[in-house]
Amino acid sequence: MKHLILFLITITAGINGCSQIGYTAYQKIEGLDVSTKWGKARDADGTKKPALLLAFENTNNYPVSYSFDILLYYEGLLRESGRIEDVCLDGLKSSVGKLNGIYFIPEKFTEEQLKNSDFNFVLEEIQVVKIAQCIDEEEIPQE
């Protein structure tokens, strides 16, 4: 019975998109729904650290490529920034947080600062471009 309940929860979460797994809607732009939440992710050394987890849902029938800047503010001043570029997402698909590697680990903030009301983040310059198809890196011929 427990397995059935877990299965139903998993299916329901998949059908209802990112909102069922704790993400907050951030913005909708050109058929791309962007959601965020704070959680933990492993850095390059394998250490779990606070991270901005990002979820994207492409509601278009065609693949898109998206890029954006992440701006982190503390006490009204820009303290850290990052950029994610040219991420491909097939039509009617989603990519979520740690599962798909879409997250940002701040390097210049303590966990306390990230929870402080003086901290804020902005996703800026979100660009969404219709493309013919997504290409896996394994499919790109190596020279």
> Domain 2-132, what fold?
Immunoglobulin-like (2.60.40)
Residue 76 has pLDDT above 80, yes or no: yes
* Helix H or strand E segment including 32: strand 32-42
Q: What is the pLDDT of residues 130-143, one digit of tens each?
A: 999 998 765 555 55
pLDDT at 136: 78
Domain ranges of the chain: 2-132
Residues in the chain: 143
Q: What is the pLDDT of residues 3-61, one digit of tens each?
A: 433 333 443 444 445 554 899 999 999 999 999 999 999 999 999 999 999 999 999 99
pLDDT at 100: 87
Query: SS3 breakdown of the chain: % helix, strand, coil, rounded to 5?
Result: 20, 50, 30
Q: What is the pLDDT of residues 80-125, one digit of tens each?
A: 999 999 999 999 999 998 888 899 999 999 999 999 999 999 999 9
